[in-house]
Structure 1
Amino acid sequence: MKRLKPVQVILLGFLLTIMIGSVLLMLPVSSKSGQMTPYIDSLFTATTSVCVTGLVVETTMTHWSFFGQLVIAVLIQIGGLGVVTITAGMFFLLGKRISLSNRMLIQESMGLNTMSGLVVLVKKIFVGTFIVEGIGALLYATQFIPEFGWRYGIWASIFNSISAFCNAGMDIVQLDSLRSYVTNPVINFTTMGLIVLGGLGFIVWKDMYHGLKDLIYRKCTVKRAWDKLRFHSKVAITATLFLIIAGTVLIFIFEFNNPETMKDLNVGQKLMASMFQSVTTRTAGFETIPQAGLSEGSSLISMILMFIGGSPVGTAGGVKTVTFIILIYCVVTVAKQEDDISLFRRKVSDVLVPKALAIIMINLSVLLTAVLFLLLFDDQTFMTTCYECVSALATVGLSKGMTPELNLFGKIIIIITMYLGRVGPISMAIGFSVGKKKKKKRSFSYPEEELIL
């Protein structure tokens, strides 16, 4: 039997976790009714949890028992941090040494180009994650404990904090997601803060931490702290801020007088709701305004934001902000008739451009295939179907109400789309590619010819 490649182990690790989760959720103890949940619904829920998507065919609050909700929370945490990262954490707890092969797995799962400092990075990710989720749970508790009492209020705070940080978008506080809290600043800004922190990526965390230390202890200027950030962090932070602000402004304009979403809110509340929609579409999946009531313009903006997603080496999905920025600057470079793609006075490696293009094209191919099949097997409008498929592929979890009405074939299509969206279509292609381990190099090159574009 051939030895599996690291990327294949990651893909199979996610699949195995989903299978185990689906069996646990199918058990009678996992549902409040005490009856077995149909396997297709258990599989759908396990997939949406591990893939931190948030699309649900059974309402998390009403269908699942405490045991079922606990299983879902664990699956979300595993999916958010990554199966390999969780496995490495188990090695730490058991006092086991991380082997070279396991370091390679961690490197592959995080998309890093070096194994230097991986073990220390994983430890910091665990500590940072539980600190941020703990703070989030405390902030949620100020609202949920008075509303639901100590026992359920504490559990709801913990569950929602895990779900928000891991960009899963599942909650156990209301039947309408967070629509009841559309005017509540604590719930809105706590949720947005957790989503953004999870979506920025752990590499950016590390840079920001060192930058804050310089600002506080070394009394350096903000410009100096910014200049010391690595190139990747600057791109990820800039792209995140741009997408949040642009999305907020555009959604605010389109939904200002929409009676189905924000017409009855005051200006400040409309801005908060618009910002929440802009942030949550970056692969979180919570909603404070009904997605089915969005205007066509806001729906299109939301799908674009969902498709882009968060930043690399984080809990978010999508094609990632850095990929988006590379392609945007590639267009700018062509328009300026320049030779190199550069930003922040740094040149972007030529190798990254075809990779970014491949990621975009493979994701678009999977998306279009999913839309066509869903239109074939499920009778819904084109916009509703597109919204569902983009949400599934980008592991967002927002829906215009289509998810609970999916038939068997529709559920299978969305399950596959969510899985591909989490592990990455390009990782799937590489992981199961047939060929030698070493790249075969040609000893010759073909003659060059011109094409008309």
Structure 2
Amino acid sequence: MDRPTAGDGRTAADPDPLQRPTRPSGAPPREPNPAQILALGFAGVIVVGTLLLSLSAAWEPGRRVSYLDALFTATSAVCVTGLVVTNTAETFSTFGELVILGLIQVGGLGVMTMSTLFALLVGKRITFRERLIIQEALGQLSPAGMVRLVLYVATVTLAFELLGATLLTLYWWLAYDVPFGLAAYRGVFHAVSAFNNAGFDLFDSRRPSLERFAGDPVITLVVGGLIVAGGLGFTVLADLGRRLRHRRHRLSLHSRLVLVTTAVLLAVGTGLVAVGEWSNPATLGSLPLDRKLWAALFHAITPRTAGFNMLPMAELTNLTVLTTILLMFIGGSPAGTAGGIKTTTVALLVATVRATVRGDDELVLMERRVPALVAAKALALAVLAAGLVLAVTMGMLLWDGHALEATVFEVVSAFGTVGLSLGITPELTPVGKVLILLTMYAGRVGPLTLAVALTRRGRRPRVLRYPEERVLVG
């Protein structure tokens, strides 16, 4: 007997190709994707950090930290941001400061990197699924060589932090007569904070951050060098290492793009800060000529998502404030400790605009073709980031009531995991604190990764191809 058929020739028992497949009854629950695991991992570390910072042992005598302030501080540390509602040195005890230091290290290296290192120490085998998660965390193109890359990341991080801590310790001990023990403690803390682009400091609120060292060439080179190194990304550092060992090794397109874009941003940023602040008596105007240039350079470096500042933020001119906002939004480079939309994203957007204006059919950078999907991803990331900043800014203006300039600056600083502020962070309302800490979290995880993590459905093969039709643009 013939089986009945549908109008398109399918038998009644055949599945409809347009029908979304359903999970069979009794099937095991769907495993979280790598993006969801990363998002949950960061959230878990934040919760643990909040609990530790809520302990009375984490506070200075006579001080008390609310649960919301502990959550804000833990989020800022794990997301390597540096925005603080209370002065770190005056509020937290040595135990609390060490908790913050540990959160910075975990947040900078990444949850999966730290988990992998621990697993290797206890002799656990790293599964293929775990390699996929590490690939997502470090922004790599292939899961091959992930364990080797994790070991390299840990080695490079330790080397930079040890070098920075040694130089800062000796300089503060010899040049500023700081007791050796205190100099060593501060040297380690600020080296870790700088390389991980965190921006937490241990100086009092009278002259916070690095304002007392404005224009100091040694502090600029050491702290600024750590910030730039961490912001370049471990992929670029590994590529540069191969180049130093093998002269014939050619840097990848990614590395060349990061290095060129970073150099351009530092040069343009330094120039704009110098122009904006040169005659400002509250910032560069009171410094000698050589220190003016060093301070201008440092201020161009720190929006790369570090959060240290040598110039009093509330005294900056409008030009410098706008320059800082743009640099914070761009941030550092992929696969590193920095935030923002990243240097490669901006480079791809500029190259796409140039190709469109010239009428090119392909996107070409440094004699290499870039896939259209990569350019589309850069555009999606920029749009999501701009949308997030706009939405949070509107919420802040609605519930927090600070001036537009300071609010935009605060939101972009949180998204870029920078930590700079025009002074409104301690004055935030509870709603404002929640909005900012959520923005820091989204900025550290990455808006694109977070969007994927919040999407339940995976990619499905396209069964239909629709007719093409043009849309007017411009």
**What TM-score does the superposition give when structure 2 sets the normalisation length?**
0.91
CA distance in 2, matches of 1:4, 1:256: 53
Structure 1 pair 450/2, CA: closer, same or farther in 2 (3 Å)?
closer
Q: Which runs of 5+ in 1 are unaligned?
A: 215-219
- Is this contact kept in 1: 2:85–2:425, CA < 8 A? yes
Residues 1:269 and 2:291 aligned together: yes
CA distance in 2, matches of 1:41, 1:434: 32
Q: What one-letter code is carried by the residue in structure 1 that aligns with 2:43?
A: L
- Is this contact kept in 2: 1:41–1:57, CA < 8 A? yes
Structure 1 pair 452/156, CA: closer, same or farther in 2 (3 Å)?
closer
CA distance in 1, matches of 2:34, 2:473: 41
Q: Which runs of 5+ in 2 are unaligned?
A: 1-28
Structure 1 pair 84/295, CA: closer, same or farther in 2 (3 Å)?
same
CA distance in 1, matches of 2:461, 2:360: 32
Residues 1:156 and 2:186 aligned together: yes
Q: CA deviation at 1:42?
A: 0.2
Higher mean Cα deviation, 182-191 or 195-204? Answer: 182-191
User: 3-state SS of the aligned residue for 1:342?
Assistant: strand
User: 3-state SS of the aligned residue for 1:351?
Assistant: helix
Q: Equivalent residue for 1:443?
A: 464
CA distance in 1, matches of 2:387, 2:401: 22
Higher mean Cα deviation, 170-179 or 155-164? Answer: 170-179
Q: Equivalent residue for 1:217?
A: none
CA distance in 2, matches of 1:33, 1:101: 47
**Quick one: which of 130, 141, 144 aligns to 1:113?**
141
Q: What one-letter code is carried by the residue in structure 2 that aligns with 1:118?
A: M
Q: Equivalent residue for 1:63?
A: 91
User: 3-state SS of the aligned residue for 1:347?
Assistant: strand
Output the aligned Cα RMSD.
1.3
Q: CA deviation at 1:275?
A: 0.6
Off by >4 Å, runs of 4+ in structure 1: none
Q: CA deviation at 1:188?
A: 1.4
User: 3-state SS of the aligned residue for 1:287?
Assistant: coil
Residues 1:2 and 2:30 aligned together: yes
**Quick one: which of 453, 457, 466 aligns to 1:431?**
453
Q: CA deviation at 1:174?
A: 4.2
CA distance in 2, matches of 1:148, 1:35: 26
Higher mean Cα deviation, 404-413 or 31-40? Answer: 31-40
Identity %: 39
- Is this contact kept in 1: 2:170–2:183, CA < 8 A? no
- Deviation sequence 1:168-227 (CA, Å, 0-9, x none): 00011343100000132221110100000000000101111111223xxxxx5xxx66xx
CA distance in 2, matches of 1:376, 1:443: 44
User: 3-state SS of the aligned residue for 1:353?
Assistant: helix
CA distance in 1, matches of 2:294, 2:323: 17
CA distance in 1, matches of 2:289, 2:329: 28
- Is this contact kept in 2: 1:52–1:395, CA < 8 A? yes
- Deviation sequence 1:90-140 (CA, Å, 0-9, x none): 011112111111111101111211011111111011011001100000011
Q: Equivalent residue for 1:191?
A: 223
Q: CA deviation at 1:277?
A: 0.5
Q: Equivalent residue for 2:390?
A: 368
**Quick one: which of 58, 68, 74 aligns to 1:30?**
58
Q: Equivalent residue for 1:287?
A: 309
Q: CA deviation at 1:234?
A: 0.3
Q: Equivalent residue for 1:167?
A: 197
User: 3-state SS of the aligned residue for 2:321?
Assistant: helix
CA distance in 2, matches of 1:269, 1:421: 33
**Quick one: which of 306, 310, 322 aligns to 2:332?**
310
User: 3-state SS of the aligned residue for 2:418?
Assistant: coil
Larger Rg, first or second structure (1 or 2): 2
Structure 1 pair 422/285, CA: closer, same or farther in 2 (3 Å)?
same
1:355-394 map, 5 Å: 355-394=377-416
Q: CA deviation at 1:379?
A: 2.3
CA distance in 2, matches of 1:174, 1:64: 12
1:20-169 map, 5 Å: 20-33=48-61, 36-146=64-174, 147-169=177-199
CA distance in 1, matches of 2:323, 2:189: 29
